[in-house]
Amino acid sequence: MIFKSKLFIYLLILMYIVLIILDIFNISKNKNPNIGNDIAFYSHLGTLFIQLVFLILSNIKEPQNTSNVNIFHKLIVNVSIYLTFITATFTSVGDNIIATSINLYIGAIFILALFVVVNNLFSIFIYLSNMLILLYFINISPLLNLTPEVIYNQDVSIVTFTLIAWLFSRYLFYSRVDSYLKRQEREVMISDLQEALENVNTLGGLLPICSSCKQIRDDKGYWNKIETYVSKHSDAEFTHSLCPSCAKKLYPEFEEDSDLKNLIKGP
C-alpha cells in the first residue's frame, strides 16, 4: 500500500489542526454541551496524533525504493490507515449526532479509495469493520435518537456508498498494479536492450593494413593477423577454405579431384 506522497500526510495534519481549532471554538461557544461535538473533537485529535506518530516512525528509516520497504514500515502504514479510518468513522458518529448526517463518512471512504492503495483482504477488513461500527451506533447505540425512517435511509446509504467506494478502490488498485507491471516490463526490456548493445562489437573507421602480408595494426601498435584482429573486435568467427584461384595455384594437379572441390566449396 502506498500513499500518493508525503505531501498528502502534511496536508492531512494541517487540515486536522484547523478542525481541532474549530472544534475548540464551537465547544467553548456552545452553552448547551453536545456529546456530538466532544466525539468530533476527540476523533480529530486522535487522527492528528496518529498521523504525527506515523510521520515520525516512517522517518526512522527512509525507504529509497520498493525493495527497501521492510515489514516494519508496512505495519506502520497499515495501522495508520486503519486507525485513521476508525477515527473518521467516530467523527461521522459525532456529525450524525449534531446534524443527522453521514456525509462525512461518505467523503472519508472515497478519500480512502482515492489516495490509499491496499490489497483486497485488507481493504475488505477496513471498509467492512468501519461500516459495521457506524451501523452499530445508528441502530443500537443510545447516543443517536433517530426515527426508524432516518435509520433505514442511513443504513441503505452507508451500505450502498461503502460498496461503491470499495469497488472504486479495487478499480484503482488494479489499474495501478497494471501500470506498475507495465512500467517494470518496460524497464526490463530497456535493460535487456542496453545489455545487448553493450555486447555488440562493431568495426569502424580506418584500419591500417599491410599491403603485403595483410596484417592489421591495432591501437597499441602491434600487428595482428586479419583473422585475429576481426575476431577480437567483432562477433565474427572464421572458417578456412580456398578460393578457386588459390586452389588452382597451390594444387594444379588436383583440379578435378572431388576432395579439392569440397575444399574449395568450404563448410
Could you read off the pLDDT of 57-115 as tens digits, one per residue?
766 655 555 455 555 566 767 777 778 788 888 888 888 887 888 888 888 888 888 87
Does residue 207 sit within a domain? Answer: no
Q: How far is CA 155 from the centre of its chain?
A: 35
Q: Could you tell me which residues come within 8 angstroms of residue 47 by beta carbon, excluding any fewer than 6 positions away? A: 12, 16, 84, 87, 88, 91
For residues 61 and 186, membership in a common domain is answered with yes
For residues 148 and 256, membership in a common domain is answered with no
Long-range contacts of 194-197 (CB under 8 A, 24+ apart): none
Does residue 73 sit within a domain? Answer: yes
Q: Which of 163, 196, 229 is at the close of a domain?
A: 196
Full residue range of the structural domain in which residue 188 is found: 6-196
DSSP, collapsed to helix, strand or coil, labels residue 101 as coil
Overall number of domains in the chain? 2
Question: Max alpha carbon distance in the chain (Å)?
Answer: 126
User: Is the overall model pTM greater than 0.75, yes or no?
Assistant: no
For residues 191 and 221, membership in a common domain is answered with no
Does residue 223 sit within a domain? Answer: yes
Strand-pairing partners, residue 223, are 217
For residues 248 and 183, membership in a common domain is answered with no
Let me know how many helices (H) and strands (E) the chain has, helices first: 9, 2
Does residue 233 sit within a domain? Answer: yes
Does residue 201 sit within a domain? Answer: no
Q: What is the pLDDT of residues 165-217, one digit of tens each?
A: 999 989 988 888 888 888 888 888 888 787 766 655 556 667 788 888 878 88
For residues 233 and 162, membership in a common domain is answered with no
Does residue 209 sit within a domain? Answer: no
Does residue 205 sit within a domain? Answer: no
For residues 107 and 175, membership in a common domain is answered with yes
Does residue 202 sit within a domain? Answer: no
Q: Which of 161, 196, 231 is at the close of a domain?
A: 196
Burial of residue 259 (CB within 10 Å: 0-12, 13-18, 19+) is exposed
Long-range contacts of 7-15 (CB under 8 A, 24+ apart): 8/115, 9/51, 9/54, 9/55, 12/47, 12/51, 13/48, 13/51, 13/52, 13/55
